[in-house]
Amino acid sequence: MIDMYNKALLIYNGNAGNNEISKNLNQIVGNLAQNIRELTLLQTEKKGDSERYCKERASEFDLLIIMGGDGTVHECINGLMELEDPPIVSIIPTGTCNDFSRSLLIPQTITEAAEFIHSGKVESIDIGQCNDRYFSNFFGVGLITEASEATNSNLKSSIGKFSYFISALQSLKKATSFSFSLKTDKEQFEGEAVMILAMNGYFLGTSNLQLNETKLNDGLLEIYLVRESGLNLIRNMYNKAFSDDWTRDTEGIDLIRASSFQLETDEKLDVDMDGEIYLKTPVNVSILNKHLKFITQ
């Protein structure tokens, strides 16, 4: 825990609506000011602003506060990775799922998250790299991109995280498999799959996928090869989403732990990183051990 920060930058999502933005800022700025000598606020207007702000300005500050959802966090991470000496990072979650902030054990209300900045501890956390992009929470191809793209924006606004589960189930019914070759430093896997998912964080759509041995700074990714869709996979997804019982022997899913892998597919597939799509396969994916400092529990 650091008692006082000299300079902090707060980046917040300008697409949330003026009333909501004003309400959120009113709830947190007074609390933040108690332990920050100089606080600068930057509002995003369009996609890419968060990444650009971090590249251009973040090195001037001791602390970066990200107020937004998983997409804003993803952009900020990619901007920070361009810096030689990035600031400490904290997240005030205001998105739909806020999966990476959940992995950091950050409270999910903004007032508690603001207080947590002063009470939490600073820890170095792993960051994933895929070609020339970076991710904090997950990498995925196949079903994960189909479910993300199929999520209805109106549905998302009205019922939040449950819309992701509905979209996932709809995608599972019509999932098509793809041929793949995945090579780690120790093993090679080939065959058909409907989804390949590599987790750095613990949460996906607010569902906890954490295994007992996994940590955010262990230098490893948890790679799930999902080889089949249909009712069996829907049942397994449902059980995991609403139960803490998760084993390595889930039918239709293979689990690998590795620090890096190369992935090729029979046709170019969209790559989803933290809910954002920038790249297509083939890709090289690796974990950068303890690369950024975050405030966590």
Report whether 240 contacts 161 (CB < 8 A). Answer: no
Enzyme catalytic residues:
276
Distance CA 23, CA 19 (A): 6
Q: State how beta strands 203-204 and 5-12 pair.
A: unpaired
Report whether 203 contacts 95 (CB < 8 A). Answer: no
Of 96, 99, 71, nearest in space to 159 by CA: 96
Distance CA 267, CA 13 (A): 35
| Eight-state DSSP code of residue 118 | H
Distance CA 237, CA 197 (A): 13
State which amino acid sits at residue 95: G
- C-alpha distances (whole Å) from 192 to each of 143, 258, 260 are 13, 20, 20
Distance CA 72, CA 94 (A): 10
Per the rule left: phi > 0, alpha: psi between -120 and 50, beta: everything else, 178 is beta
Distance CA 286, CA 271 (A): 14
Report whether 146 contacts 239 (CB < 8 A). Answer: no
Of 160, 223, 218, 225, nearest in space to 194 by CA: 225
3 state SS of 7:
strand
Distance CA 183, CA 185 (A): 7
